[in-house]
Each structure stands twice: as structure tokens, then as C-alpha cells.
Structure 1
Amino acid sequence: MSQPDATNPFGDFTKMLEQFKLPGFDVPAIMEARRKDVEALVQANQTAFQGMQSLAQKQTEMLRTTLGELQSLTGQLSAGGAAPPAKAAELIQQSLHKSLADMQQLAQAAYQTQAESYAVIAKRVEENVQELKSLLQQQQKK
């Protein structure tokens, strides 16, 4: 048995289907449409994976920054003895505002990743609808 072709995983399957000459079925067109479906899924998965990697990197960066700020704050409080409550409250408030802004940034990145992945799938669905319309119009002409 020959090795499968990595560039065309549908090659053997197409050859097998072409052996069965089915009237009204354009096997190459069907296989091409399924190949495009798989490519769209691969692209959507790659987009989602890249988005998740980006989110993980941002979360790591935010954690490092927050830990650094906490370490600095702890050092300041221990070096100066008892810090004035107003200064400590201000530092805590700044830290909370920064954390909220970071969470908004993460939520926006997650939303963008989902929107991009959905757009790839939606585009392929629209192409499938157009291909189906075209096939139906060809069948009506015959």
C-alpha cells in the first residue's frame, strides 16, 4: 500500500469514490468542498490556539508585574516602618484599578479571538451555501 500524501489527504478517498460513477454526483467538486471545510476548521483552530497563547502570555506578564509591585510595596512598607494609611490605601486603589484594566484587556483579547475564529467558520458556511445554490442551479438547467 502506498504512503498517504500529506498535501492531499483526500486523494485516496477521491480515487475510491471516482471508481463508483454515480450519476448526478460530481465527486471532485464534493471532495474539493470538503477539503475547503477542513481547511477552514484548521484555520479556525489555529486562530483560537494563537489567541489562547496570547492570553496565557498576557496573564503571565500581568502576574509578574503584580508580583513585582507587591514585592516593591512590601519593601516600602517594611523599610519605612508603618506607612501612613492614606499612602497604603492609594497604592491599593492603584493596584485594583490596574487589575481591572488588565481583566478588561484579557476579556477583549478573548472576545477578539472568538470573533476571528467564528468569522472563519461563518465564511466557510456562506461559501457552502453559495456552492449548494450553484449546484442546484446547474441541476435545474439540465
Structure 2
Amino acid sequence: MKDFDPTKMVDEFSKMMKQYKLPGVDIDSVVASQKKNLEALTSANRVAFEGLQAVAKRQAEILQETMNEASKAVDSMSKAGSPPEVAAKQAELAKDAFERALGNMKELADMVTKANQEATSTINSRISATLDEIKELALKMKQPTA
């Protein structure tokens, strides 16, 4: 993604469009709009990528926590006494592990949802602005030039 430069892409598009000299079309406005579109996409991709990085980091933390808890569970099981105590301890550990797993899944799902909402918000805002820009360009094209 380092090599992707939206500015260069927009500059090339601008050069190409200026060659055609379309009457009534404000090429600079079209190019500026496309540049903003590319910037919004780049921003949304960055937000989504950062969100996925945060999820991956949290997954690694959860794995470490789970391994620590498993180690403690094995240790506590070895200290349990009679078979009924062992069975009760196993049930307690299973319940705790299940509840933690559900909590962790919810946390990770919330993180993904938040990242997606932030990325989507950027795109939605830009789409709205683009539609306004298209409307303005259409109105300018309708007006007779003096």
C-alpha cells in the first residue's frame, strides 16, 4: 500500500481529461472530486486495516490469557480431592471457560463492528458529498456561458 499514491493517479486522470476539452465540463471540479473519492477510500481502508490489527492483537492477548487460565486449571485440578470434588471443579472450570469465551467473542465482534462502522461512515460521507458535487456540476452545465 506504500506505493499507492492517489495524488499521482488523479494527476494522470487530470492530464488525460484536459486533452479532451469537453465543453461545459469543469474538469478541475471533476478531478478534485475524484481525488477526494480516492482519499476517502484510502482513509476507509486504513481505518479497516487498523481495526483488523487491533482485533488480531486482542486475539493474541486472549490466547495468552486462555493459556494462563488453562495452566491454573490444571494446577487446581491436581489439588482437588475426592472424585465428587474433581467433578464439581471440572464443571465450575467449564462454566467459567464458556462464559469467558462468550465474552471474548462479543468483545471481538464489537471491535470488528466498530471498525466497519468507522470505515463505512467515511465512505457514506464521501458518497453524499459526491452526489452534491455531481448536482452542482450538472447545474453549471445547464447554465449558458456568456
**Of 118, 121, 131, the match for 1:119:** 121
Q: Distance in 2 between matches of 1:12 and 1:108?
A: 40
SS at match of 1:24: coil
Q: Distance in 2 between matches of 1:57 and 1:97?
A: 21
Query: TM-score, normalized by length of structure 2?
Result: 0.84
1:1-142 maps to which residues of 2 (within 5 A)?
A: 8-9=7-8, 10-80=10-80, 84=85, 85-142=87-144
Give, in angstroms, the shift of residue 48 of structure 1.
0.6
C-alpha spacing 1:112/1:127, structure 2 compared with 1 (3 Å)? same
| Identical residues among aligned pairs (%) | 31
Query: TM-score, normalized by length of structure 1?
Result: 0.86
Q: Distance in 1 between matches of 2:82 and 2:14?
A: 77
Give, in angstroms, the shift of residue 79 of structure 1.
4.1
Instruction: After superposition, give the CA deviation of every residue in 1:35-66 in whole Å (9 maximum; x if it has no partner).
Output: 11111110110011001001101111111101
Q: Distance in 1 between matches of 2:142 and 2:13?
A: 28
C-alpha spacing 1:40/1:82, structure 2 compared with 1 (3 Å)? farther
Large movers: runs of 4+ above 3 Å: 79-83
Structure 1 gap ranges (5+): 1-5
Structure 2 gap ranges (5+): none
Instruction: After superposition, give the CA deviation of every residue in 1:83-126 in whole Å (9 maximum; x if it has no partner).
Output: 71222211221121111011011111111111111111111110
Give, in angstroms, the shift of residue 22 of structure 1.
1.7
Letter in 2 for 1:47: V
